[in-house]
Amino acid sequence: MFQNRTGQIKTFFRQWQLQSMVIPGIIWMIIFCYLPMLWLIIAFMDFSIARPMLESPFVGLKHFQAFLTDDRFWRSIRNTLGMSSIKLVLGFPIPILFALMLNEIRSIRFKRTVQTISYLPHFIAWTIFGGIMLNWLGEGGMINQLMMALGLQEREILFNSEPSYFWWITYFSDTLKETGWGAIIYIAAMAGIDPGLYEAAELDGANRWKRMWHITIQSIRPTIAILFILAVSGILGSNFEQIFMLKNNMNLKMAESLDLYIYNMGLVSGRHSFSTAVLFARSIVALGLLFLANYTSKKLTGDSIY
């Protein structure tokens, strides 16, 4: 045992070149990932950025009680769950459907062209994409022109100032931007399916839909399961860059997600401890959700992350 230890230490020094590659990485992680975790302790303090951390008084669960009785907190929970549910139920299947239909295209060149084009919006900044949305949804914007031309509305509506539309705006703009990119992983999974399976099914008389259902979908099922678990466990998160871009004072009561609430309370109002308490609670719930989703998926389909 002791000899083994000294042997390891010797090897460690003989490997100094390799070690000098890895150790800076570990130091980086300790500073930028572990130190912030340590700072989570301010959720239990009345922390002020002006004095050293340990001089701040401990206040126990005071901030946790405070946010639980804050109406704005519950509103942000509702908004987050609302937006996430729409994205989960109506958004999750769309990249799968797109990948399925793309997979049926015979011409390789056309397929590749469509794929290349469909990724493009993923690489465009939210400032640009959000800017386009704000223009389309505003006065004289395309949506108003279209709706009026179709006779669906009589006068201009400022869609982005109307809180009730906000969740749908985030859903549609996200779908528009990320569908092609979301499909990439399914397309990769479909590329790995054995073509012999299709030939055998065709000989057995399975038509196109049956082949799609029984072979393609069944083959990518583990991928779907993993992405679904991740989507469910991310239900308390939101696309901060998107919401931050599209929100305004008029729609804030439907736009303030949990992320935005933490930002507003912590960095705008300077309530660091309070905000950290919300963050802390959210991380714990999110972790629980990950385990729950994974467990449920394992029971129902046999597919899971671990």
Partner 1 sequence: MDRRRRFQRIGLFEVCNTLLMLAVCFITLYPMWFVLVNSLNSPQQAMLGTVNWFPKELSLASYSVVLNDKSLMHGFYITTLRTVIATVVHVLFTAIVAYGLSKSNLVGRKVYLKIALITMLFSGGLIPTFILMTKLGLYNNFWVFIIPAMYSFFNMVIFMSFFRTIPDSLEESAKVDGASDYGVLFRIVLPNSMAVIATIALFSAVYNWNDYYQGVIYIRSQDLLPMQTILYKIIAENSMSFMQQQAMAQFGARLPGNSIKFASMMVATLPILVFYPFIQRYLVKGVMIGAIKG
Least distance to partner 1, CB of residue 120, Å: 6
Residue from 72, 148, 263, 304 that binds partner 1 (CB under 8 A)?
263
Residue from 46, 162, 241, 303 that binds partner 1 (CB under 8 A)?
241
- Segment 54 to 73, residues that bind partner 1, using CB under 8 A: none
Least distance to partner 1, CB of residue 182, Å: 12
Q: Tell me: does residue 163 bind partner 1 (CB under 8 A).
A: no
Pick 242 or 297: Cβ nearer partner 1: 242
Residue from 61, 68, 89, 101 that binds partner 1 (CB under 8 A)?
101
Q: Tell me: does residue 110 bind partner 1 (CB under 8 A).
A: yes
Residue from 35, 68, 89, 90 that binds partner 1 (CB under 8 A)?
35
Residue from 89, 90, 120, 292 that binds partner 1 (CB under 8 A)?
120
Residue from 56, 76, 84, 118 that binds partner 1 (CB under 8 A)?
118
Q: Which residues of 231-258 are buried (b: 16+ CB within 10 A; e: fewer)?
A: ebbbbbebbeebbbbbbeeebbebbbbb
Place of tokens 């999974």: 189
Q: Tell me: does residue 188 bind partner 1 (CB under 8 A).
A: yes
Count CB-CB contacts under 10 A for residue 138. 17
Which range touches partner 1 (CB under 8 A), out of 57-65, 122-130, 148-156, 197-205?
A: 122-130
Residue from 68, 142, 285, 292 that binds partner 1 (CB under 8 A)?
142
- Segment 205 to 234, residues that bind partner 1, using CB under 8 A: 208
Q: Kindly state the tokens that stand for 215.
A: 């072979």
Q: Tell me: does residue 106 bind partner 1 (CB under 8 A).
A: yes
Residue from 59, 66, 81, 134 that binds partner 1 (CB under 8 A)?
134
Q: Tell me: does residue 117 bind partner 1 (CB under 8 A).
A: yes
Pick 89 or 117: Cβ nearer partner 1: 117
Integer Cα distance of 274 and 276 in angstroms: 5
Pick 5 or 299: Cβ nearer partner 1: 5
Q: How many positions of this chain bind partner 1 (CB under 8 A)? A: 84
Q: Tell me: does residue 268 bind partner 1 (CB under 8 A).
A: no
Q: Tell me: does residue 300 bind partner 1 (CB under 8 A).
A: no
